[in-house]
């Protein structure tokens, strides 16, 4: 794949990832018809890593928050964005999601989520920098990453479809 095709493919994957991220974070991985059953919750937690109940499930959620945002560090880096700008993008997008959850009463706005989402973005950008430094052919690296990310996206969409069909 040439450089232009790599960029176009990465933009398409980034767009699909963005829609998946909105579905996971804002819609709580629910179908539109199920949104009326989501609890209307307007809470704000400004104390990082503070949980009153069920600490075990929150630890899992904290780790998943970071993992879900790793591609947000990878894709912009693949498109030539400087790492600090990719991290700033992750922070701003996460802040927007947390604010929307609070304003729309569709979830708990939590500073821990903001921190972990930003950390996930930084991990993605850092991972790309590391791969780029050890790669002898950066264009080939982007091709390989596009294929890996495409397979990962397809597997996620397949798993989501199976879950949605099983719960229908």
For 25-84, how does the pLDDT look when each residue is reduced to its tens digit (9 = 90+)?
887 776 655 656 666 777 888 888 876 665 556 788 889 889 999 999 999 999 999 999
Domain membership flag for residue 78: yes
pLDDT above 90 coverage of the chain, percent:
51
Segment 92-103, tens digit of pLDDT: 999 999 999 898
The pair phi, psi for residue 44, each rounded to 5°, is: -135, 120
Over residues 109-133, mean pLDDT: 95
Task: Report the pLDDT value the prediction gives residue 14, as an integer from 0 to 100.
Answer: 92
Q: Is 28 left (phi over 0), alpha (psi -120 to 50) or beta?
A: left
Segment 9-26, tens digit of pLDDT: 999 999 999 998 998 888
Task: Report the pLDDT value the prediction gives residue 31, as an integer from 0 to 100.
Answer: 62
On whether the CB atoms of residues 128 and 81 are closer than 8 A, the answer is: no
- What is the DSSP secondary structure assignment for residue 52, as one 8-state letter? S
The tally of domains found in the chain comes to 1
Quote the pTM value.
Answer: 0.87
Domain boundaries, position 105: 3-27+39-166
On whether the CB atoms of residues 153 and 12 are closer than 8 A, the answer is: no
Domain membership flag for residue 144: yes
Task: Report the pLDDT value the prediction gives residue 77, as an integer from 0 to 100.
Answer: 94
Average pLDDT in the chain: 86
Domain membership flag for residue 34: no
Whole-angstrom CA distances from 3 to 47, 75, 78, 146, 148 are: 44, 14, 10, 12, 17
On whether the CB atoms of residues 16 and 96 are closer than 8 A, the answer is: no
Q: How many CA within 13 A on the CB side of residue 56?
A: 0
């Amino acid at each position: 794949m040439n450089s232009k095709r790599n960029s176009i493919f990465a933009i398409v994957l980034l767009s699909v990832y963005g829609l998946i991220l909105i579905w996971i974070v804002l819609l709580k991985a629910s179908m539109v018809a199920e949104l009326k059953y989501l609890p209307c919750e307007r809470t704000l937690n400004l104390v990082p890593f503070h949980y009153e109940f069920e600490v075990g499930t929150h630890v899992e959620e904290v780790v998943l928050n970071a993992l879900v945002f790793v591609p947000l560090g990878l894709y912009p880096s693949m498109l030539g964005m400087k790492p600090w700008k990719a991290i700033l993008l992750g922070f701003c997008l996460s802040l927007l999601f947390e604010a929307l959850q609070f304003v729309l009463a569709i979830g708990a706005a939590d500073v821990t989520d903001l921190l972990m989402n930003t950390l996930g973005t930084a991990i993605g950008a850092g991972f790309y920098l590391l791969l780029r430094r050890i790669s002898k052919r950066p264009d080939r690296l982007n091709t390989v990453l596009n294929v890996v990310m495409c397979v990962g996206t397809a597997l996620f969409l397949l798993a989501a479809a199976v879950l949605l069909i099983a719960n229908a």
